[in-house]
Amino acid sequence: MAIPTTADEVRRLDRDHVLHSWSAQAHINPLPIKSASGASFSDYDGNTWLDFASQLVNSNIGHQHPKVVQAIKDQAEKLCFVAPAFANDARSELARLIAERAPGDLNKVFFTNGGAEANENAIRMARVHTGKQKILSAYRSYHGATHTAITATGDPRRWASDNSSTGIVHFFGPYAYRSAFGAKNEAEELERSLGHLEQLVMLEGPGTIAGILLETIVGTNGVLLPPDGYLAGVREICDKYGIMLIADEVMVGFGRVGEWFAINNWGVTPDLLTFAKGVNSGYVPLGGVVMSKAIADTFEDRPFPGGLTYSGHPLACAAGVASIEVFEEEKILEHVKDLGERVLRPRLDKMAVDHPSIGEIRGKGLFFALELVTNRETHEPLVVFNASGADAEPMTKLLAACKERGVWPFTHFNRLHIAPPLVISEEELVRGLDVIDEALKVAD
Ligand code: PLP
């Protein structure tokens, strides 16, 4: 018995024995990937693509970084696994590195195996800590695919028919481009969205609400940046009514927008902050919840049932320590800010002038989305939803035009997302943007 070596064999075994989630649309004919390096990945026929999606916005330090691969090998030779009740050197060191970089007084880490588990546990922590049940979370959000995390996800297209986790109430976050409040500009949107949130708190009863969960920057649902003042406003509401603020940084933590944590851009400290993906770029699954010592201490008297066999796995934590060292040595945060501001943003602004299909450009650092429309005045979306589903053909064509020119971004409904590995070079970034510029003609 051996690992299959041909694309056909990999595809056949995948088709026969792997169950994909419905959202992994590629499952109809998954492309077998043979190898990856830096900002690119390759198939078995030698085709190589620039990875403009970082594999679900995950591969922040790029593929196969030699330092991280070596750290995993070294750790594997020393200690592969020990139960989480024991301490291990990699976990201790990674927790210290995260505590040093987390906002405000957040300095204790509960480790999980990924982002959904991190949110699931943060929700339970908020409930145990406050003794209250309800969680408010935003429409246009994604928090993961476990039971409560998917219920907290404010995207009805993702809810399964057995979606039944109770105690989650959704609110509208600020999105001035297609405002739920009829606001005319961002300042009005800010005021109305905060007003809406406070009204909802009053309606539900502050004495019943454990936490407000939000993505610092909404990722999958459109790269929606909070207007200045929004996060501070939510913090104020939380403080006023004794509610915990939970910031989901699974997608935007660890450098994606040029800060260790995106929330540092707005100087707000949440009570609980969840992370995953970028902490070690997925080399070994890892996630977690960061909190203050004061909050962590309360779980000694009021324990939450969060024991996970692989929590703080030595291999995952060793990869995390090495990743953070790579960030420092290669000055990745500075690189992200520089490339984002000097190269990516101006180039996208120029594309918006040239392409009538671009309705709005949103983003920061190396994390952008192009909102695609058929009519700029009315914001009429390129992908139209109706009773019989969505006509996704224009997006499929656009994606195909990128892929056949060697660039693999990701699309989500009306948006083309651009989120390359943070180690991408200027030359690679420009090459990829040239391709997208050309490919957009199919959508104009
Ligand atoms: N939260 C956010 C903001 C995410 O983007 C994701 C995944 O894309 C998750 C949570 C879920 O993370 P995971 O897939 O590791 O469970």
Query: 30-60 pLDDT, tens per residue?
Result: 889 999 999 999 999 999 999 999 999 999 9
Task: Give me ligand 1 centre to Cα 260, in Å.
Answer: 17
Under DSSP, is residue 431 helix (H, G, I), strand (E, B) or coil? helix
Q: How many CA atoms lie within 13 A of 216 on its CB side?
A: 29
Q: Atom 12, ligand 1: which residue's CA is nearest?
A: 115
- Cα(315)–Cα(76) distance, rounded to whole angstroms? 7
Q: What is the pLDDT of residue 230?
A: 98
- Compute the radius of gyration of the chain from its Cα atoms: 22
Structure tokens belonging to residue 42: 């390759």
Under DSSP, is residue 133 helix (H, G, I), strand (E, B) or coil? coil
Task: Give me ligand 1 centre to Cα 444, in Å.
Answer: 32
58 CB under 6 A from ligand 1?
no
Q: Which atom of ligand 1 is nearest to the CA of 220?
A: 5
Task: Give me ligand 1 centre to Cα 7, in Å.
Answer: 29
Instruction: Yes or no: say if 250 and 244 are a contact pair by the CB < 8 Å rule.
Output: no
Under DSSP, is residue 232 helix (H, G, I), strand (E, B) or coil? helix
Domain coordinates of the chain in residue numbers?
A: 31-64+331-442, 67-329
- Cα(36)–Cα(43) distance, rounded to whole angstroms? 9
276 CB under 6 A from ligand 1?
yes
190 CB under 6 A from ligand 1?
no
Question: What is the tens place of the pLDDT at every residue in 149-172?
Answer: 999 998 877 766 555 678 999 999
Backbone angles phi and psi of 59, in degrees to 5:
-80, 65
Task: Give me ligand 1 centre to Cα 236, in Å.
Answer: 26
Structure tokens belonging to residue 146: 């476990």
Amino acid at 11: R
Task: Give me ligand 1 centre to Cα 143, in Å.
Answer: 5
| Sign of the alpha-carbon dihedral angle for 150, 155, 157, 163 | positive
Which residue would you say has higher pLDDT here, 28 or 340? 340
User: Which CATH number applies to 31-64+331-442?
Assistant: 3.90.1150.10
150 CB under 6 A from ligand 1?
no
- Cα(47)–Cα(324) distance, rounded to whole angstroms? 31
Task: Give me ligand 1 centre to Cα 217, in Å.
Answer: 13
Which of 78, 73, 146 is CA-nearest to residue 112? Answer: 146
Q: What is the pLDDT of residue 74?
A: 98
Beta-strand pair 168-171/134-138: parallel
Under DSSP, is residue 235 helix (H, G, I), strand (E, B) or coil? helix
- Cα(185)–Cα(420) distance, rounded to whole angstroms? 30
270 CB under 6 A from ligand 1?
no
Task: Give me ligand 1 centre to Cα 411, in Å.
Answer: 16
Task: Give me ligand 1 centre to Cα 142, in Å.
Answer: 7
Q: How many CA atoms lie within 13 A of 253 on its CB side?
A: 26
114 CB under 6 A from ligand 1?
yes
Helices (H) and strands (E) in the chain, counts: 14, 18
Question: What is the tens place of the pLDDT at every residue in 171-218?
Answer: 999 999 999 999 999 999 999 999 999 999 999 999 999 999 999 999
Domain 67-329 has CATH 3.30.413.10: no
Q: Which atom of ligand 1 is nearest to the CA of 57?
A: 8
Q: Atom 1, ligand 1: which residue's CA is nearest?
A: 143
Question: What is the tens place of the pLDDT at every residue in 274-317?
Answer: 999 999 999 999 999 999 999 999 998 888 777 899 999 999 99
Instruction: Yes or no: say if 243 and 208 are a contact pair by the CB < 8 Å rule.
Output: no
Beta-strand pair 287-292/407-408: unpaired
Residue 35's CB: how many other CB atoms inside 10 A? 12
Q: What is the pLDDT of residue 394?
A: 85
Q: What is the DSSP string of 312-369?
A: T-HHHHHHHHHHHHHHHHTTHHHHHHHIIIIIIHHHHHHHHHH-TTEEEEEEETTEEE
Pocket test for ligand 1, best of 120, 277, 284, 310 (most atoms within 8 A of CB): 277
DSSP H/E element including 151 = helix 147-152
pLDDT at 388 over 80: no
Task: Give me ligand 1 centre to Cα 174, in Å.
Answer: 21
pTM exceeds 0.95, yes or no: yes
